[in-house]
Chains A and B, each alone.
Chain A
Amino acid sequence: MAPLPAPEPSRQLETIAALDARKIRFELNRYALPSGLEATFGVIRHPGASLAVPLLDDGRVVILRQYRFAVACRLLEFPAGTLDAGEDPLSTMERELQEETGYAANRWDSLGALLPCPGYSDEVIHLFLARGLTPLEHPPAGDDDEDLEVLLMEPARLDAAIASGDEALDAKSVTAWYRARQLLGL
């Protein structure tokens, strides 16, 4: 494997313009790049997020069919949520798993982290495998703008859905599934 280039941090020189929205902020920033060249990049500032691949004892995964206004369709996605200020990623995920799926987990493994769009967003998504699932009698209420349906799926069916070419694929869920399959030896 070729060695990584030496770390040569770019330096942010100024923010030319910015626009705030719910949970995120868009900035047009001027940077001095490692070579000394200056360039402008649009960057979304995001508080970060967590995602879990929830696995039932019988081997099925818990996954959501969720409406996403930005792409105007219902995507197959693992449960996930934005970090609240000061919240650690596992606490976020424990809360979101209960709200979105109605299950609680007692075994958590890290699957690392992913960058959904490093070209224009600073968001980091922390990935987990959630096992030892039990259904909650009284699941907590989720956000009132979440429009989702909970599905239980055999791993082979999820693999087939991803490979079919018929699904609009959520990249963070495909990546988390790649990592989960490696950890589980599937």
Chain B
Amino acid sequence: MRPSPTATHQPLAVEAELADGPVRFVRERLRLPLGREASFGWLRHPPSVMVVPRLADGRLLLARRWRPAVGRWVLEFPAGPLAPEEAPARGASRLLRDLLGRGDGQWHPLGELRPNPGYSDERMAIGWLALERDAALELDATAPTAVGGLTPAEEATTRRWLCAPAALDAAFSNLAEPVDGRSVSAWFLARRGGIG
């Protein structure tokens, strides 16, 4: 018999865990709604935010991040864990200040993603942000960010990337390159949500 739509699993026992900063990997015994008991490995991750930042001229700000887990540069919108009690709009502005030196602008919420529901509890708020006009905002996409907001490891693995919406669609349509699922989803939501 199918369980009720509101039935959830029951945690039984944590068998082992390993922490990495704010993230914990846990191996835990669970009873699922259908009644089966089994041991699962999953990541306990703080809530996070991803922001689609639009400049006044319509271009979008992304970053190429060197990702050791996959051994390649990946094109991504700015994203990161939220601090305790931090609202997504505030977190998005903080991430942009770290990457760009400025982050003020109107926040437009677009929804909430589960980036990895098979083995992570992460909930990622998505929104787009219209960066306020700033004549001094001249960005060299390949230069180090050099605004002081990133840790040395982040600085070494981050390159800013600016593009027009059509160029981003072209990049995300390139079947030869694995895409960041969170960023493509955020872009799809932004397109549907009126970013233009």
Contacts and interface: CB of A to CB of B under 8 A. Distances in A.
5 contacts: A33-B153, A67-B9, A77-B117, A119-B69, A121-B69
A67 B33 contact: yes
A7 B70 CA distance: 13
B142 A3 contact: yes
Contacts, number: 242
Interface in B29-76: 30, 32-34, 36, 38-43, 64-71, 73-74, 76
Nearest to A143: B36
Nearest to A145: B36
Contacts of A41: 20, 68-69
Nearest to B124: A171
Interface in A103-124: 110-124
Contacts of A61: none
Interface in A5-28: 5, 7-10, 12, 17-26, 28
Interface in B99-119: 109-119
Contact of B162 (A2, A28, A74, A175): A2
Interface stretch (A85-93, A94-102, A132-140, A159-167): A159-167
A21 B41 contact: yes
A70 B110 CA distance: 22
Given A37-B152, A40-B20, A41-B20, 18 more contacts: A2-B162, A2-B163, A18-B18, A34-B156, A37-B153, A41-B69, A67-B7, A68-B117, A75-B117, A114-B178, A115-B67, A120-B43, A145-B32, A147-B32, A159-B192, A163-B111, A165-B111, A174-B189
Contact of A44 (B25, B167, B173): B25
A125 interface: yes
Contacts of A23: 41
Interface of A: 1-5, 7-10, 12, 17-26, 28-29, 31, 33-35, 37, 39-44, 46, 67-75, 77, 110-125, 144-145, 147, 149, 159, 162-163, 165, 167-172, 174-175, 177-179, 182
B69 A21 contact: no
Contacts of A25: 41
Which secondary structure dominates where chain A touches chain B?
A: mixed
B181 A68 contact: no
The 6 A-B pairs with the shortest beta carbon distances in the complex, nearest first, are A21-B41, A42-B20, A112-B175, A26-B25, A35-B156, A174-B185
B13 to A, nearest CB: 14
Interface string B153-196: 10011010111000100011111111111101101110011000
Given A19-B16, A71-B114, A117 B23 contact: no
B98 interface: no
A171 B156 contact: no
B30 A69 contact: yes
A115 B72 CA distance: 11
Contacts of A73: 8
Contact of A4 (B64, B76, B122, B162): B64
B114 A171 contact: yes
B23 A33 contact: no
